[in-house]
A and B are shown apart, each in its own frame.
Chain A
Amino acid sequence: MLINLLCIALIGFIIWWFWLYKPSNETKVDASTSILVKDGVYSPARIKIAANTPTEITFLRQDKSGCSATVLLPDLEISQDLALDKPTTIALPALEKGEYPFHCQMQMYKGVLIVE
Chain B
Amino acid sequence: MDHTTHSPMQLNILGAGCASCVGKIEKAINSVQGVDSAEMNFADRTVLVTGKASAELIIKAVESAGYNATQIQAESAEDAMNEKEQADLQHYKSLLRHTFIALSVGIPLMIYGLFIGEMTVSTLSEQVVWGLVGVMTLAIMLISGRHFYIGAWKSFLNHNANMDTLIALGTGTAWVYSMLIVAFPQLFPEMARHVYFEATAMIIGLINLGLALEVKARGKTSEAIKRLIGLQAKTARVIRDGKDLDIDIAHVLLNDHVRVRPGEKIPVDGVVIEGNSTIDESMLTGEPMPVEKVLGDDVVTGTLNKSGSIIFKATRVGKDTALARIISMVKRAQNSKPPIGRLADVIAAYFVPAIMIIAIVSAMVWFNFGPEPSSVFAIVSATTVLIIACPCALGLATPMSVMVGVGKAAESGVLIRNGEALQTASKITAMILDKTGTITEGKPQVTDIILVNADSEEQVLALSAGIESHSEHPLAQAIVESAHARGIDAINTEHFTAISGKGVEAEVDGQILLFGNKKLMQDKHIDIGLHEAKAQILAEEAKTPMYLALAGKLLAIIAVSDPIKPDSIEAIARLKRSGIKVIMLTGDNKATAAAVAKKVGIDDFFAEVMPEDKANKVAELQQQNEVVGMTGDGINDAPALALADVGFAIGTGTDVAIESADITLMRGSLHGLADAIAISKATLRNIKQNLFGAFIYNVAGIPLAAGVLFPVFGILLNPVIAGAAMAFSSLTVVSNANRLRLFKAKEH
Chain A residues engaging chain B, CB cutoff 8 angstroms: 3-4, 7, 10-11, 14-15, 17-19, 21, 23, 25, 32-34, 36, 38-43, 45, 58, 60, 64-67, 69-70, 72, 74, 77, 79-81, 83-84, 86-87, 105-110
Contacts and interface: CB of A to CB of B under 8 A. Distances in A.
A116 to B, nearest CB: 20
Interface string B84-121: 10011011001000000000000000000000000000
Nearest to B355: A14
Given A39-B147, A86-B7, A108 B164 contact: yes
Contacts of B162: 40, 107-109
Nearest to A22: B159
A36 B445 CA distance: 62
B360 A41 contact: no
Contacts of A64: 87, 90-91, 94
A41 B331 contact: no
Contacts of A65: 91, 147, 211
The 6 closest A-B pairs by CB, nearest first: A40-B151, A106-B395, A79-B335, A18-B353, A64-B91, A108-B162
B382 to A, nearest CB: 10
A86 B5 CA distance: 7
Nearest to B392: A106
Given A83-B83, A87-B5, A105 B396 contact: yes
Main secondary structure of the interface of A (DSSP, over half): mixed
Nearest to B90: A64
Main secondary structure of the interface of B (DSSP, over half): helix
Contacts of A4: 364, 367-368
B336 A77 contact: yes
Interface string B512-551: 0000000000000000000000000000000000000000
Contacts of B689: none
A74 B342 CA distance: 10
Interface in B212-271: 214-215, 218
Nearest to B357: A11
Given A45-B160, A79-B335, A87-B5, 19 more contacts: A11-B361, A17-B156, A18-B160, A18-B161, A23-B158, A33-B2, A39-B150, A40-B151, A40-B155, A64-B90, A65-B211, A66-B214, A66-B218, A77-B418, A81-B335, A84-B87, A105-B396, A106-B399, A107-B391
Contact of B154 (A40, A67, A70, A86): A40
A15 B353 contact: yes
Given A14-B357, A36-B1, A7 B364 contact: yes
Interface string B175-211: 0000000000000000000000000000000000001
Contacts of B291: none
A66 B91 CA distance: 9
B163 interface: yes
Contacts of A21: 159
